[in-house]
Amino acid sequence: PSTPDTPDTTAPAKPVIDTDLTGKAGTKTPVEVTAEPGSKVELFDKDGKKIGEGVADDKGKATITPTTEIPEGGVTAKATDKAGNVSEPSVPAKATKDTEAPAKPEVKTDLTGKAGTKDPVEVTAEPGSTVELFDKDGKKIGEGVADDKGKATITPTEALPEGNVTAKATDKAGNVSEPSEPAKATTPATPDTEAPAKPVVDTDLTGKAGTTDPVEVTAEPGSTVELFDKDGKKIGEGVADDKGKATITPTEALPEGNVTAKATDKAGNVS
């Protein structure tokens, strides 16, 4: 007659909690445990309450997502093999609260000319943190969440007022950062609609008809100065320097008659 198999009565080795639980109290961060392959691995809080369960794979790794937030204190694991043998509890891994504030965020968007708008504001902050935007008076004007690359794009809930805008980040543990360096929101510049003063042709053109002698004109600094013959045909162009002087060499011989100049400023206004 065959001999019956000897029952497995050997308990598995006690598991090892591999995850560092520093700063993980109050979260449901997955916990990795090494245990006998194929065994059921249970996770317990400091009071012995079961807070999660998993199965060790063929490499002896079990990743357990807690069913409740991990409380502060020692967390242990036990392994139960397929024969029902239960291991000794693991060495406790101490779960502590995250008390470290996130780094202060950075407002990346240039807010020049953005006052009075609801243009989105990009902020870099700790990934996963809630990022709040504040105006110069400390009033909250928007909120977003930083993605896994630490980018939060926040659309203001109201038009940005003039003045400094700051951001604060709050991590998942409720720790709040220092405010960011301020980004100054300014109103858009008023369009320049004023024509430059009319230029003055300084060169005496007596005896200059039929030549391409340079013609000096005084005009608004930085403006483009155009030269015209008596029929309004353009015969040259230059730019007034920072002293308002433009020296224009005619593109063709000056005809007899009156020569005039017009100045166009950088905003496109014509004298």
Q: Rg of the Cα trace of the chain?
A: 39
Tokens 């002896």 label which residue?
Answer: 60
Closest CA to 200 of 260, 269, 265: 260
Residue 130 CB coordination number (10 Å): 19
Give the chain's mean pLDDT: 95
Q: What is the pLDDT of residue 4?
A: 61
Query: What span, in angstroms and rounded, lies between the C-alpha atoms of 103 and 171?
Result: 10
Dihedral (Cα; 182, 137, 115, 132), 10-degree rounding: 60
Q: What domains are defined for the chain?
A: 16-95 (2.60.40.10), 106-185 (2.60.40.10), 200-264 (2.60.40)
Closest CA to 168 of 197, 213, 227, 125: 125
Q: What is the DSSP letter of 172?
A: T
Cβ neighbours of residue 139 closer than 8 Å, sequence gap 6 or more: none
Query: Contact, 203 vs 216, CB < 8 A?
Result: yes
Closest CA to 40 of 53, 58, 27, 30: 53
Residue 212 CB coordination number (10 Å): 14
pLDDT < 50 positions in the chain: none
pTM of the model: 0.56
Query: What span, in angstroms and rounded, lies between the C-alpha atoms of 145 and 152?
Result: 6
Structure tokens at 71: 């409380």
Q: What is the pLDDT of residue 270?
A: 96
Cβ neighbours of residue 42 closer than 8 Å, sequence gap 6 or more: 50, 52, 53, 77, 78, 79, 80
Sheet holding 31-34, edge to edge: 16-17, 31-34, 61-64
Cβ neighbours of residue 138 closer than 8 Å, sequence gap 6 or more: none
Q: What is the pLDDT of residue 9?
A: 87
Query: What span, in angstroms and rounded, lies between the C-alpha atoms of 51 and 244?
Result: 80
